[in-house]
Every structure is written in C-alpha cells, then in structure tokens.
Structure 1
Amino acid sequence: MASQLFNLIEKIINTGTLRVKDATGTITTFGDGTGDPIAVRFTDSEAEKLIARDPALALGEMYMQGRFQMEEGNIYDFLSLVRRNTLAIVFSPLMAARLFWRTGLAQLQTRLPINRNRKNVSHHYDLTPPLFSLFLDEDWQYSCAYFDPPDISLDEAQLAKKRHIAAKLRLNEGQRLLEIGSGWGGLSMYIAEMAGVDCTGITLSHEQLAISADRAAKRGLSDKVRFELQDYRTMKAKPFDRIVSVGMFEHVGIGRYQNFFDKCFELLDDDGVMVLHSIGRDVAAHGFNNPFIEKYIFPGGYIPSLAEVLPAVEKSGLLVRDIEILQMHYAYTLRAWRERFVARKEEAIKLYDEQFFRMWEFYLAGSEMAFEWDKMFIFQMQLSKSQFATPNNRRYMFEAEDKLKAAEANRAPLEPVAFS
C-alpha cells in the first residue's frame, strides 16, 4: 500500500475495525477491534495514491470506477466509520491548502454574475425519469421527508412533509400560490386539492415540467395547477398570496441570496406568507459543495448556514415569523432512498451502467452520512411582510395539520407517475 495512504488511515481509524487489502494483496487491520468489521480492497496502487492526495474527491471516484471495493459491509458503513473517527481530524498541509482553495473558489463562483442555473438543473433533474422511480415515493418527492412519528414509511413521511408545510402556509380557498422549484408537481397538486388554492409552479427542468403538467392534467387539475419553465429572477406576475420553495434554495448560491429574497418580497402580497424549506449547515462547516457532489451530482450547489441567510432576509424587508430545524429527518430519508436504490441495482445498471450505479450509491450514502455526522439539517423558515400575517402562537399549525390529515382520507389515490 502507498505509505502516504497507510499513514493517513492509521491516524484516522482509532475505534472500530477496518481491514484494508492493498493492490499487492497485503491485508492490514486498523482500529481497536470493536464493532462489526469493515473490509475494503484496492485494485491498483494508483488508486491508493489518488485517495491519499485528495480523499474528498478521489474516494468517490475510485469507488465509482470499481478501483476501491467493499468486501465486508457497504459503502455507507465505511463512510460512517471514517466520519466517526474524524470529528476532530487535523488536516495535512496539502489537505488544508486544498480546503482553502475550494472554499475560495466556491465563494467566488457563487458570486459571479453568470447564469448557469438552467445547465446545472438539467445536469441532475433531466436524467432519465425511470431512474427516480427506482427510489422515490409514489409522489416523487425529491426532498427531505418528515418522519413524525419516526417509524412511518417513506410514503407516509413524504405526505407528512407536504401536510406540515401546507399547515405553515395558512391556506384558504381561492388564494394564489407560487411554488419556486416545483419538482414533479406533487406539492402544488396536494395544496390545490386539499385547500382549493390556485397554484403556479416554476422549474428549470424540461423533464420535470413535462411530467408535472401531465400529472396535473390526469388528475383534472389543469384549471387550478399550472407549471412553467421559468426562472424566478425574471418572473413578472401579480403578487401571490402564498409562496413556497422546497429543496431549491440550495441551488441559489450565497452571492445571490439578496436577489432571491428581494424577488420573493416583490412577488409576495402585503398580507402574504412564504415558507422556505432548505438544507442548512453549521456556520463553522466548510463553505463549499462537496467536491464529488459538485463534479458528478449537483454542480453549482451551495449549502447555506442560517447566519448567511438571515441578513439577506432582513435586508429584503421580509420578516421571519418562524424557523423550525428538522434534525435527522433527511438522514432517514436518504437511508430509505439508498436502500430502495440498491435493492433495484440491476434496473439502475440497465438504465445507465454499473459505474453510474456506484456513483449514485456513493452520493446517497455520503449524503446520509453527512446528515448523521456533519451537523447538517433542514430548516423551514416562515416569512411574511406583515407581523400580523400569522398568529402569535404555533397552535394553528398543529390544528391545520390535523384537519388536513383528516381530509386526506377523501383524496383520490395517486396514480403511478407516467414517463416516456
């Protein structure tokens, strides 16, 4: 094994049991011998060197290429073992320099006046739709579910998420709602059916637009729910009573937060309410997208801290009426996605190939690990222009959820998402 990687692993793995077979077939055991053993294998010495130089990027690449393989346990088990042992790791000078460079580059790119949003969205969301059918719930909700109570199924948790958000919006029949980043249309359709609200969803994904419009038409909702290929920044419309955005803010970028909230202020009625649902991070965490995720999965992504978001909210004139932190809910969501995806491995390989399967397995496992160990979370922020737009207590949210849950019994079952 390359001595540089050997020394790195020896510094990291203090607890647990990790057996590493290098390219020559030599097996070395690290850790204190506790827990279920995890065994990995390198197929070539160059893979060892690449990971030693840049583990944040190369580990995922080598796994994706089949040059770093699991022999006992799975990739999530390995990543969790490493992360549990590196909560206080001291970076080498090279790693520290690379960390500084990536942080600076991310901060620069997210502030450049170059619109790559449509290209970045297409890179991920315009993948073949059958891929998403392998692991998402029946409504194709591609954002954090709400596991309350914690032992419910993924489908139940995604329904609970929609219900939870709808309750915070204080919906009434006849209102007009804008959904920024409408995905495959499930949230807008839920709101239209459950509350009689007129919904406009905007997206930058051609695939999502086609599927969501088809779904609304098949449910007879075309008069109440419409979807548009539209960038929020150039949208012109009469102010909406309600605005909701779920899982889109991570693509905005810190340099554009002020523009985002200024535009939301413009598009929100004076008595309106907005709910923003986004991934968040601890302010001390790295201010750049994971390099593997950036290169292969979500180019241009940026996970905000609340300290970065709130100044832009306040400067826009919007008032923060409520903030809720959802801890671990995304870890549970990602675990369900990963388990479903792995269970349908052969189908995923037929859609693309085995390298693509491993790439997505690594993405799902790494993301799950991040929400379990890296202080990442979901925040739901309720905003308004007026301090009187929402009550001065939270009882109304719980009451609204109870009413929605009771009404769901009369909602027609969802049909399977159709795609060509």
Structure 2
Amino acid sequence: MSLWSAIARSRLDRSIRKGCLEVTFPNGATSLFGSYCISPIRIAIKSEAWLRRILLDPELQLGEAYMEGGLVLEAGDLYDLLDIFWTNILSDGRPSASLPAFLRKTFRAIAQFNPRARAARNVAHHYDIGNDLYRIFLDEDMQYSCAYFPDRETSLADAQRFKKEHIARKLCLKPGDTVLDIGCGWGGLALHLAGRENVRVHGVTLSCEQHCLARERADDMGLSDRVEFGLQDYRNLTRHYDRIVSVGMFEHVGVPHYREYFDQVAACLKDNGTALIHTIGRTPGPGATNPWIARHIFPGGYIPALSEILPAIEKAGLMVLDVEILRLHYAETLKAWRSRFRARADEAEALYDERFVRMWDYYLVCSELSFRHGVHNVFQLQLAKRQDAVPLTRDYLYRPEPTRGPLRQVSPVHDERPLANVQRR
C-alpha cells in the first residue's frame, strides 16, 4: 500500500458518515466507506498522482480528476458522489485543504482585478463559446439566471417568466420609462420589459455572441424601436435612466470594483429612479471563488457576501429600500438545466467533446449543491436615491394589476397564491 493510498483510506474512514462510497485505489484494492448500503457510489482513482492531487487540494483537483479521467465514476450519479464529498469531506475544514484555501482568499484581489480588457476576456471565456450550447439546456427565452419557483412542479419556462414579472414589479415601471439593463445576456429580460411594460430599454453586454443574438431577436420581435443593445462595458455609459436592472452580472464585477460599480449605477440613475440588482450571494461571509470554477467556468468571478456589497452601496450615495433572499430557487433552476443538458449530452459532445460534457455536468452539479447546502443564495437588492421611490409595503409585488398591453401576462404566482405562501418560498 502506498503512502497516499494509506492517507486516503484513513481520511475517508474517519470522514464518510453520510452516504456510502466504494473506492478502487490505483493498486486495484477496493474499500467501502460510510454506512452499509446495497448500491454504493463506486469510483476508481487511476493513478497515485491523481490521488495525491485530490488529497492535497480537493476543491480544485476533484473536478480536474473527473474531467481528465483520473477519477472514474463506475456506479451511481455524479450528483450523489459530489454530495457525499461535499457533506463529508470538502466542508470538514481539515488541514490538507486549509493552505490552498487560505492562499486563494489572501490573493483574491489579484484574481478579481477586472479592468475593461480583462473583463471582456473573462466574459468571452464563458459566454462566447457558442450559443448552440446554451440552447441545449436553457429555456426558449435563454434566461441564464435564477428562475422563480412557486413550487417544485413549476416548469422552467414558467419559472423564468415569473422571475421576469417579479423583477418588473420591483422596478415600478411606468409607460415611457427608460431602462438600463447591465449585463443583458441574450436580451430576454430587456425584450420582456419593452414588449409588456411599454418602456425603452438599453441593454449592454461584453459578449459578442450574446450581443448579436439579442439584436437579431429584437428585430424578429419588432422591438428594435424600443430596445437597443450595445457591446460595451457598463463603466463607459454616460446616459441617465429612470430604472436600472442587472441580473446575474454582478458576480463578474470583482470585489476591487464594487465601489466603481455602484458609483456608476448612482451616476446613471435619475434622482427619482429605482435600481434592482439580482446576484448570487455568499451566505457564510466573505471567501474565495472555488478554484475549479475560476479556472474552467468563470475566470475573474466571485460570489459576494452582503457584508461586502452594502458598504459600496452606502458610499455611492444609494439607499437600500429592500433586500429579498431567494432560497433554493437557483437549486431548482440548476436541477432543471442539468436534466435538460443530460438529455441532450450527445449534442453537446458533438459540439465539443466528451471532456467538455464531463466539465459542464460537473459545473451544473456542484453549483446546484452549493445552493442545496446553503452556501449560496440569491440576493435581490432594490436601490434608489429617495425613500419614496417605491411603495411603502411589498403588497404591490403580489396583488393583481390591470393589463398594460396585448403581450402582458399576470403570473399565477402573484394572482392565485396567498401572499403568505409566496413570501415563505
């Protein structure tokens, strides 16, 4: 038995208390860890080198090993495997992972330094790999952010529509308002607001693929006169807007740029305006980006804690009028995305390769688990410059309202369910 196999056996024997894991080590020996069960999750570690790397830095190397075939899942689902590791090992705080985690947190300002040129490269790494990939697992509107689920039986398409309606209400839109959408993606929210709320929207993105498709969609829907999409950095904007919305973009800003971001929001927002910032949030407090996610999925990205966001908002001269925490909604969103991705994995493999499919599957699974285990939630922060910019109570978010146009639909989340039921979710 090698030294690393002995260390692994000892650690797994002490750590695995929930679930059942069977491991085949590089020398061919097999051991069972955790509670007895008829069908354990079975994995094989293909070399001592991979075993050593996983033990020394599991947050990074577990994903690397799965992508590269150094760790092979022989029985069971990837979700169950990562849940076992997450529950029993990755969160146990053992010294083997403490030094890499300490160094990542210490030097996170360097990793998250996002000047304009670097921000564009980081966005291209994730969003410009081809729209066909995103069509595989997103809903028809290509909403790539947390949906709003009144219950687990809600379809992904309905949940994404409910999310857009919820955000529209928080913006307190009036016909003729001008709206800035920072990080507009493929244009779904901007087109929704322009088509159903009779407002003019300016969406900006750094992704060439998103920009081209968003403009094409606006033309196809006959909304080009009300929606403008720009390929530009939000820091270059000089106009003023009645409303500002940003959904799923703040995670790309980087801690060193939070003051810069909210200063720009304040500069672009009219005195009587309202802003809605929708972002994934870190529940335990400030930390560092998962190194595997930073390397392969979102370079330069970071999930913020509220304690990191609020000081920048205050210094920018903005008021926080409301903070809503969406719990588990993103877990359900990611579950739906993974189900759709797995059903069409052969198409993703044809576009890329088998390694990419394993990488994307790993990304979707570990992201869902981060929400299931309470590490991440979604924050919706409603901001303004005046106390009276929005109604005094949240009733306006849930009561029925008159139809404003032929495309507008009032979601059953607001109309048919008791207020108390909606607030608990």
TM-score under structure 1 normalisation?
0.93
1:84, distance to aligned residue in structure 2 (A): 2.2
Q: Equivalent residue for 1:10?
A: 13
Number of residue pairs the alignment of both structures matches: 408
Whether the aligned pair in 1 keeps the contact of 2:195 and 2:407 (CA below 8 Å) is: no
Q: Equivalent residue for 1:41?
A: 44
CA distance in 2, matches of 1:88, 1:44: 25
Mapping for residues 168-317 of structure 1, pairs under 5 Å: 168-237=170-239, 239-284=240-285, 287-317=287-317
Pick from 74, 81, 86: which aligns with 1:83? 86
Whether the aligned pair in 2 keeps the contact of 1:209 and 1:228 (CA below 8 Å) is: yes
CA distance in 2, matches of 1:272, 1:112: 28
Structure 1's 400 and 319: CA in aligned 2 closer, same or farther, altered over 3 A? farther
Whether the aligned pair in 2 keeps the contact of 1:111 and 1:256 (CA below 8 Å) is: yes
CA RMSD, 1 decimal: 2.1
CA distance in 1, matches of 2:140, 2:363: 22
Q: Equivalent residue for 1:396?
A: 396
**Does structure 1 residue 95 correspond to structure 2 residue 97?**
yes
Q: Secondary structure at the match of 1:116?
A: helix
Q: Secondary structure at the match of 1:41?
A: strand
Whether the aligned pair in 1 keeps the contact of 2:114 and 2:300 (CA below 8 Å) is: no
Mapping for residues 400-419 of structure 1, pairs under 5 Å: 408-409=408-409
Whether the aligned pair in 1 keeps the contact of 2:120 and 2:207 (CA below 8 Å) is: yes
Q: Equivalent residue for 2:422?
A: none
CA distance in 2, matches of 1:374, 1:133: 28
The AA in structure 2 aligned to 1:9 is L
1:71, distance to aligned residue in structure 2 (A): 1.8
1:67, distance to aligned residue in structure 2 (A): 1.9
1:10, distance to aligned residue in structure 2 (A): 2.1
The AA in structure 2 aligned to 1:224 is R
The AA in structure 2 aligned to 1:18 is L
Q: Secondary structure at the match of 2:398?
A: helix
CA distance in 2, matches of 1:118, 1:364: 23
Whether the aligned pair in 1 keeps the contact of 2:187 and 2:214 (CA below 8 Å) is: yes
The AA in structure 1 aligned to 2:373 is W
The AA in structure 2 aligned to 1:70 is L
Q: Equivalent residue for 2:365?
A: 365
Q: Secondary structure at the match of 1:243?
A: strand
Greater shift, 200-209 or 374-383, is seen at: 374-383
Q: Secondary structure at the match of 2:170?
A: helix
**Does structure 1 residue 151 correspond to structure 2 residue 153?**
yes
Structure 1's 246 and 372: CA in aligned 2 closer, same or farther, altered over 3 A? same
Structure 1's 35 and 368: CA in aligned 2 closer, same or farther, altered over 3 A? farther
Q: Equivalent residue for 1:415?
A: none
Q: Secondary structure at the match of 1:134?
A: helix
Q: Secondary structure at the match of 1:25?
A: coil
Whether the aligned pair in 1 keeps the contact of 2:285 and 2:307 (CA below 8 Å) is: no
**Does structure 1 residue 64 correspond to structure 2 residue 70?**
no
Q: Show CA shifts across 1:115-161 (max 9, x none).
A: 51000000000011111111000100000111113320111111111
Pick from 99, 117, 120: which aligns with 2:119? 117
Whether the aligned pair in 2 keeps the contact of 1:16 and 1:35 (CA below 8 Å) is: no
CA distance in 1, matches of 2:294, 2:283: 19
CA distance in 1, matches of 2:401, 2:277: 18
- Gaps in structure 1 of 5+ consecutive residues: 412-420
4+ aligned runs moved over 6 Å, structure 1:
none
Greater shift, 265-274 or 145-154, is seen at: 145-154
Q: Show CA shifts across 1:62-95 (max 9, x none).
A: 1001221112211111111222224861321x42
CA distance in 2, matches of 1:156, 1:196: 21
Q: Secondary structure at the match of 2:22?
A: strand
CA distance in 2, matches of 1:405, 1:68: 55
Greater shift, 240-249 or 10-19, is seen at: 10-19
TM-score under structure 2 normalisation?
0.92
Structure 1's 114 and 191: CA in aligned 2 closer, same or farther, altered over 3 A? closer
Q: Equivalent residue for 1:385?
A: 385
The AA in structure 2 aligned to 1:392 is L
The AA in structure 1 aligned to 2:136 is L
CA distance in 2, matches of 1:84, 1:313: 35
The AA in structure 2 aligned to 1:391 is P
Whether the aligned pair in 2 keeps the contact of 1:163 and 1:404 (CA below 8 Å) is: no
1:374, distance to aligned residue in structure 2 (A): 4.1
Greater shift, 339-348 or 81-90, is seen at: 81-90
Structure 1's 401 and 88: CA in aligned 2 closer, same or farther, altered over 3 A? farther
- Gaps in structure 2 of 5+ consecutive residues: 412-425
Structure 1's 37 and 324: CA in aligned 2 closer, same or farther, altered over 3 A? same
Structure 1's 277 and 357: CA in aligned 2 closer, same or farther, altered over 3 A? same
Whether the aligned pair in 1 keeps the contact of 2:22 and 2:33 (CA below 8 Å) is: yes
Q: Secondary structure at the match of 2:107?
A: helix
1:4, distance to aligned residue in structure 2 (A): 2.4
CA distance in 2, matches of 1:402, 1:103: 50
